Every structure is written in C-alpha cells, then in structure tokens.
Chains A and B, each alone.
Chain A
C-alpha cells in the first residue's frame, strides 16, 4: 500500500481505458435497474396500451356499448390485460378502461369517460 502511494507512476492508459469502460457498463446497468424500479414500463408498452385503451373507449362511446369486458390482448408479441368496467347511474354510463401488463398485472393506463345512454323511442 505504502509502495503504491509513494509510486510516482500513475495508472497506465490501458488501465484507465478499461476502468472507464467497466464504469460505463456498470453505470448503464444501474440506470437500467433504476429505470425498471421507477419508470416501470417501456415507451413501446405505454404507446400500445394507450392505443388499446383509447380504441376500446371510443368503441364504447360511439356504439353505446354497456357491456363489461375482461380480456387479454396480444400486440407485437406483448400481452396486455384489458378490463372495461361500466356503471350506469341516472341514464349515464361511467366507463373505466384499464390496460395492464398481463405478466405482472401492473396497470399501465386507466381511462375514464362517460356517455348518455340513448333512450329507446
């Protein structure tokens, strides 16, 4: 140890280079881990889940569909769990659509909308 401190030579260039590369790989792994802990979902998952939820919501709004739904949808190899829940209150349908990652059941997006149930003539 004493020898090292008294040594007038620094690390060699190769050592510095290898050290930097190891540091970067380690830092990247750390970022990926943090990403998984805090960010939860990939952008691809968020985009696809938003599309699925939005499509299902507009289908319900325009067709005045009041049926509940619980299904698995596969998009680009990723499985999503879609749950549609509709409550009728005073002629108003309150629609909640949630899309989760099918494997972990982690919710990615939850949309809420309402529509007036058409009265039968």
Chain B
C-alpha cells in the first residue's frame, strides 16, 4: 500500500497534482470546519451567557420596582447600573386595576424585557371564608349550607333559618370562628389606579390610526397589524377569526366603535387591549391570555373559551357553557347606568371550575341602592375571590373567599334579605394567597404581589 502511494508520488504524470490538491482541499475543509464550529459554538455560548445575565437583570428590575411601590414610591421611571456592569431600566404603567412594571435588563448587546402585572397582597379578611358587611341585617343561612373557614359579620351576627318547605340548616353547617365586627366595610377598588388606566386609554386613543373600512376582520394572516402603529381604531365591528397573536412587551390597542367577536380557535397572548363601545363575545375554542377586554356594554365568554386576562364591563359579564377562567383572570363590573331595565351583574354559569377574582363595584349613580349581583350557578365552582360592593347570589361551590355587602336570595314571591341557601364555601382547601386587584387601603403601605411575569428578548 505504502509502496504504491510512493510509486504514485514519483509518477511524473499530471494526475498526481490532482491527488495532492484533493488531499490539500480535504485537509483545508476539515480545518475550516473545525475552526468555524469552534467559533460558532463559542459565540453561541457567549450569547447564552449574556442572555442569562440580562434575564437576571430584568428580573431584578421588577423586584426593585415592587419594593419601591411597597415604600409608597409610585413614580417609577429610572435606570441604574449594577455590580456586574449591567444596566436595568424600570418603568410603571396602569393596566386595568393593576400596575404593569416593565424592566429591561441589558448586558453587552443582549436586552431582555420582563413585564409584570402587579396586584395587591390579600388583606387578612381574604384568609376567611365569608365576610358580610351590611350591618342592618343578620346573615342567615338555610338548606344544606357548609362553610369551612371563619365568617365575619356585623354585630347582628350569623343565624340559621328556614326557607319555605325546607328544614332548618344542620348545626354542623359551619367549621370555623364567627367574628362579630362593629363596622365592616367591603374593600373598594383603587380608583386612582383605575382612573390612571382609563386616562392612559384615552391618550392612546388620540394617537391611533383609523382603519379605513367600516369593519375589520383579522385572521391567521393578519399578524402584522401593529407594524406601523400601536393603536388602531375600527369604525364598526371587529371580528377575529382563527387569529393568532403574541407579544408581551408592547401595549397594543384596538378601539372598536361596534361589537367584537373573537372566535374559531383564535389564540391571543399579548399586552393587547380591546376597548369596545358594544358587546364583546369570546367564542368557540379561543384562548385569550394576558389582554384587557373593556366593553362599555357587556362581555360574554362562552363555548370552550379559555380566558386568563382582565375583563371590564359596565353592564354584564357572563361566563357560560364550558368556558374556563384561569388564574390570574379578573372580572370587573363597574355599573354605570341606573336606567337600564335588566339588572347588571357578573353571571358565572359555566360547567367548569373557574379560577378568578370577581369584583362588582357600587352603582355609580346611587351608591346606596343595591340591585346588581354576582351570580354563581349550581354547576359552577370558583377558586379565588368573589368581592361585591352590592349583592351576591351563590348557588355553586366557592373555594376561596366571599366578601360582600349582602347576600341575595329570592324564591318568588318572597325576597329573603341577606339569606344564603345551600351555600358551600371552603377556604381551607386553598392554601395560597391569590393576588388581588389594587384596593383603596386605609393603611399607609399596601403590599404588592407579582401576579404574572412575561419575558421577551429584544
């Protein structure tokens, strides 16, 4: 073999030149490949390392911001250098009844932006099962009531009673303490934060572009709608049909003068706000995550929809069929108009367990008159908190806390004032403190909690 190679090398024919060139080019290829591979691997690892450092910096910014909020420093817009030569930039905005803190961590050429939704740490009242704040009536339970956890009432306390044709509630209906208070008050949502959000919505509306045609249809190929502008106004209706969109660092706004339909397996996970003059319908198997739906009319979540955002409406919020709410979903009803014939409220009628915080505010026209209700249907259960500045009508199971002005129960022709029938509340099973919206707090400092955190590489 060796001999034959030497023979070939001593050969004066030109083919040996081709052989040598081939050997040389193979060697060169191996060499170039090895060099490129090493350098690429190295640059990938350097990039990974820088991204890791930038990610930790952006997380640090969120903690820094929350700590400032806890110290009652609410103007957050600052930048600072860190001990590892990184830079952190922190800013705060209003996001519905929450704060939205954005933190950019920068190291070398890598930038990571983390956005967090910040709510309030639950007050001790939310560690209890039921709190009824209306002191003019005792809190009376009937039927097959079961309450696991403490109950807070006014000085008239809690009793058992009988609704027509039924036996008196068993003495085993309650496991926990009954705390009698002199002046209980239902937590009220922080109007500063909420007004701040509505003002920011208005300012975004003044800077938006109006969509040319009367209605807008978004489908799977409309992902680039926000390329030129962050805010779009639609003159009539908006329909999202099998529409996918994801972006967790910029706020995008859609202002709709008609109604909104999100359907046919649309998947939206974004800091998107949809502000609608008409009703908003979520249908089919759509998945709606992180966004704000704000309807000046009603919001209807139906079919197999999965929702984990913030829904704000003035008339009704209805969750029905097999719709699912996932933590940290928030349903917020701010009733405005007393002249509307039908009662407003939040109606939870889905055949599913809903992870949510429901909040019903006082009627803005007349804060003393209570007619709006949070209604929980028999087949529905809630994990989280139900907070009503008016009435609640609870037929299904609640794993968490109910804080309400008064219970409502009607069996025509009788209206039972501050009665609950077949009430099932279990605070014991929920061993974590769910984050709540920002409340007006009497104490000087409100502890803040991170409800969710999303990262994006810039």
Contacts and interface: CB of A to CB of B under 8 A. Distances in A.
Interface of A: 13-14, 16-17, 20-21, 24, 27-28, 31, 35, 39, 43, 46-47, 50, 53-54, 57, 90-92, 94, 96, 98, 109-116
A57 B48 CA distance: 16
Nearest to A43: B45
Interface stretch (B82-90, B275-283, B309-317, B403-411): B82-90
A46 B16 CA distance: 46
Interface in B42-69: 42, 45-46, 48-49, 52-53, 56-57, 59-60, 63-64, 66-67
B27 A20 contact: yes
B42 A96 contact: no
Contacts of A90: 67, 71
B338 interface: no
Contacts of B57: 112-113
B31 interface: yes
Given A111-B53, A112-B60, A13 B20 contact: yes
Given A16-B20, A39-B42, A43-B45, A21 B27 contact: yes
A113 B59 contact: yes
Contact of B16 (A13, A47, A53, A57): A13
17 contacts: A13-B17, A13-B20, A17-B24, A24-B28, A27-B31, A43-B41, A47-B45, A53-B52, A54-B52, A96-B84, A98-B84, A109-B52, A111-B84, A112-B56, A112-B60, A114-B59, A114-B60
B417 interface: no
Contacts of A110: 53, 83-84
Contacts of B83: 94, 96, 110, 112
B64 A43 contact: no
Interface string B18-52: 00100110011001000100100110011011001
A113 B52 CA distance: 11
Nearest to A45: B45
Given A24-B27, A91-B67, A112 B46 contact: no
Which 5 A-B pairs have CB atoms at the shortest separation, nearest pair first? A110-B84, A114-B60, A114-B63, A113-B56, A112-B82
Contacts of B46: 46
A35 B34 CA distance: 13
Contact of B24 (A14, A20, A53): A20
Given A13-B17, A91-B67, A109 B49 contact: yes
Given A96-B84, A113-B56, A13 B9 contact: yes
A111 B27 contact: no
A121 to B, nearest CB: 10
B35 to A, nearest CB: 7
The majority secondary structure among interface residues of chain A is helix
Contact of B67 (A28, A53, A116): A116
B210 interface: no
Contact of A28 (B31, B71, B84): B31
B62 to A, nearest CB: 9
Given A43-B42, A92-B63, A96-B84, A112 B53 contact: yes
B12 to A, nearest CB: 10
A53 B50 CA distance: 13
A50 B63 contact: no
A109 B64 CA distance: 22
Interface string B71-101: 1000000000011101000000000000000
A40 B146 CA distance: 67
B3 to A, nearest CB: 15
B144 interface: no
Given A17-B20, A90-B67, 18 more contacts: A16-B20, A43-B41, A43-B42, A46-B45, A50-B52, A53-B52, A54-B52, A57-B56, A91-B70, A91-B71, A94-B60, A109-B49, A111-B52, A111-B53, A111-B56, A112-B53, A112-B57, A113-B63
A110 B63 CA distance: 19
Contacts of B64: 92, 114
Contacts of A98: 84
Contacts of A57: 56
Contact of A24 (B9, B31, B60, B70): B31
Interface string B172-216: 000000000000000000000000000000000000000000000
Interface string B361-396: 000000000000000000000000000000000000
Contacts of A54: 52
Contacts of B24: 17, 20
A109 B53 contact: yes
Contact of B63 (A14, A24, A115): A115
Contacts of A43: 41-42, 45
Nearest to B20: A13
A91 B59 CA distance: 17
Contacts of A91: 67, 70-71
Contacts of B17: 13
Most B-side CB within 10 Å, residue of A20, A28, A91, A111: A111
Nearest to A98: B84
Contacts of B60: 94, 112-114
